[in-house]
Amino acid sequence: MAFVTGRTPPEFEACYGKAMVDDLFRPLGFCFAEFTDDGPVFCHAYFGNWLKVWPKDILRGMKPVLERLREMEEYFVFASADEDIEGSDVLIRWFKGVKTDKRCDTGPIYLVDLRDTKI
């Protein structure tokens, strides 16, 4: 996360997810769930322009992360549209995220019901 977005990632032990890498194993994007101490699961995803280039591959890569959350009966997750990253709300809208009245330091927070997503 730090390499791709320049932001400080959460503690490794509190996360589950996947990264998209190039042929030299440099990270290009990621999708992971952050499990917080107070209960809510926060999903982080970033793929930059690669989402436009390989949308089906990226969504297919995200599917195991979302399926694992469903297996854990974590159906409601939070996600933020980062206002510094153009188009960061595209995935949230595609997953039918509902904007909440809350914000984090990067932008508005959305609630996503994983039982109502396309993947």
C-beta separation of 31 from 44 below 8 A:
yes
Residue 44 backbone phi and psi in degrees, to 5: -120, 135
Total Cβ atoms within 10 A of residue 28: 17
pLDDT 10s digits, 3-55: 656 677 788 888 899 988 888 887 778 888 999 888 789 888 888 778 888 88
Q: What is the pLDDT of residue 38?
A: 81
The CATH number linked to 52 is 3.40.630.30
Number of domains in the chain: 1
What range defines the domain where residue 17 resides? 2-116
Residue 8 backbone phi and psi in degrees, to 5: -75, 125
